Amino acid sequence: MKLDLTTGWNAPKYSALGVHPTGFASKSTLEELYISFDPPADYGMIAEAAGAWSKTVHDMKDLESGIAEAVKIVQNGTSALLSVFVQD
């Protein structure tokens, strides 16, 4: 059995395959088992639901100010999550 460790949360699938190697998990995709990472979680929304501050940065020019803002938030006693999605 070839392990695909590049997508999804494979532990439940491989656990099921260890017990039932020809069962449902052997014929199913990660999406069919509801253990895929697609679409990805919105960690900013999760952080906000837990009372934290969050911000998402998509442009390199906004990164420094985003970090500075997150540091101030933390220094004031609130948890912060800065999600960064930038390219060179």
Top pLDDT among 24 and 79 is at 79
β-bridge mates for residue 55, sequence order: 82
Residue 86 neighbours by CB under 8 Å, 6+ apart: 57, 58, 59, 60, 63
Instruction: Give yes or no for a contact between 30 and 57, defined as CB atoms under 8 angstroms apart.
Output: no
pLDDT tier at 14, thresholds 50, 70, 90: confident
pTM of the model: 0.60
Report which of 49, 50, 7, 70 is spatially closest to residue 83, judged by C-alpha positions.
70
Q: With 60 as the cut, is the pLDDT of residue 60 above it?
A: yes
